[in-house]
Structure 1
């Protein structure tokens, strides 16, 4: 094995570079490859393509208002389109993540991060409907109780993330990642990135990255927290 051989392989198999480097390190440590050959760390890129605001908002309004659509798809789609949630995060949610607003009748929230995310009244009503209607996907088990908001075939297992993505695709959201990106770009233009991280349960680095992409210069997080503490918080 030589450096030139490795370089030629990388040119022909660029997409597999991230797998080749750990293998080469292991081979060298076991004496199966020369120690003077190397593979550079693969550069990691993130897809920042977005769903347009017009398409995203219209789709969210359709999901909120169309009673012919399954409640599961309506709630999940709105949380993706409006709050940039990942499907793998959504399927892990249980009824224990749902909270009731202490001073706003009919308003529900989700504990995704440190602070509860209070939902708009229409989405709150849909979430309450989902809690009452949810059941395992397997017909013989539909009378069984389940803790999950988006249950899978069995009551003790959540729906697979890929299954939820396919369901949303059939409802007109062809790319969950683009819908999420569009939501994040809109949110960081209105709310301080640190507050978003606390509300949506995202990493600070993720929220700050979107803040930089948006180019906004919001007020400080401390000031935002002080304003929020002055009175009851309504629906987000």
Structure 2
């Protein structure tokens, strides 16, 4: 982020960007990570918002404008130009400027998300799930990763942070803790999960390094990165955003919002929105 801040042309602009990065983006990042390691996607998200702020300030400089002299008409001229980049992300920067009273004459309303608007291909999702259930040429860890994503709508960042202890076998049932309430896995997925846990524990004994991670990375004490996990799914032909939306949409038709939030580990407000979008009761 320091390089992005330093890339702006003026000292005043760099000062504002530093405040925005330190007191808004980084604080928000730490709050959302809840003390855990920041993922690749979370960092990329923050960098994109900072890059949007740099683009706007660079445009103002090229137009011989400042935040003090820029008016709504100037902002709208930039918003509708063909060269504009990161239009949506810039809105967060403009609204932050208003809260900090750095500017008073600009407006950039937020757009509230009300659920999915495009059709989702559930057939493609199930076709991918069937392949992962039955294709023995794929590694068990790859199959398990894809099934957790397709069936339980878990982002790569969430899957990468799972440990061996998140999977438990009691009274003949295999459960996985994705949220506050464990989810019982159906037989084919349960077999894959137990197979992978057994391999992980055997590897830990042989390596004499007790790595707790269900999907370890290149270093024993670190899990696989969310980016590498996402690449693993993309190589299977899975479109991440669309497939997860489809999974959430289907689950929201079957589960109450409170149960959806507790079992999948998602925020209750997100679960409510998905249930409304799916017309769930």
Same fold (TM over 0.5): yes
Task: Give, in angstroms, the shift of residue 27 of structure 1.
Answer: 8.0
Task: Give, in angstroms, the shift of residue 43 of structure 1.
Answer: 2.0
Structure-1 separation of matches of 2:257 and 2:97: 40
Alignment RMSD, CA only?
2.4
Task: Give, in angstroms, the shift of residue 23 of structure 1.
Answer: 6.4
Runs of 4+ in 1 over 6 A off after TM superposition: none
Confirm whether residue 188 of structure 1 aligns to residue 252 of structure 2: yes
Deviations 1:64-111 (A, max 9, x none): 11111011210111011111111111101111212223x3x1x32111
1:56 to 108, 113, 125: 125
Deviations 1:151-173 (A, max 9, x none): 11111111111111111111121
1:77-88 superposed matches below 5 A: 77-88=146-157
Residue equivalent to 1:40: 108
Task: Give, in angstroms, the shift of residue 50 of structure 1.
Answer: 5.9
Structure-2 separation of matches of 1:167 and 1:96: 23
Residue equivalent to 1:11: 80
1:68 to 127, 133, 137: 137
Structure 2 unmatched runs, 5+: 1-68
Confirm whether residue 98 of structure 1 aligns to residue 167 of structure 2: yes
Structure 1 unmatched runs, 5+: 30-34, 136-141, 218-236
Confirm whether residue 205 of structure 1 aligns to residue 269 of structure 2: yes
Secondary structure (helix, strand or coil) at the match of 2:175 reads strand
- Cα pair distance change 1:5/1:190, threshold 3 Å: closer
Q: Using CA pairs under 8 Å that are at least 6 residues apart, name the structure with larger relative contact order, 1 or 2.
A: 1
Deviations 1:177-198 (A, max 9, x none): 2111111121122222221211
- Cα pair distance change 1:22/1:212, threshold 3 Å: closer
Secondary structure (helix, strand or coil) at the match of 1:90 reads helix
Task: Give, in angstroms, the shift of residue 216 of structure 1.
Answer: 2.4
Q: How many residues align?
A: 202
The question of whether the paired residues in 2 share the 8 Å contact of 1:50 and 1:178 is answered with no
Residue equivalent to 1:139: none
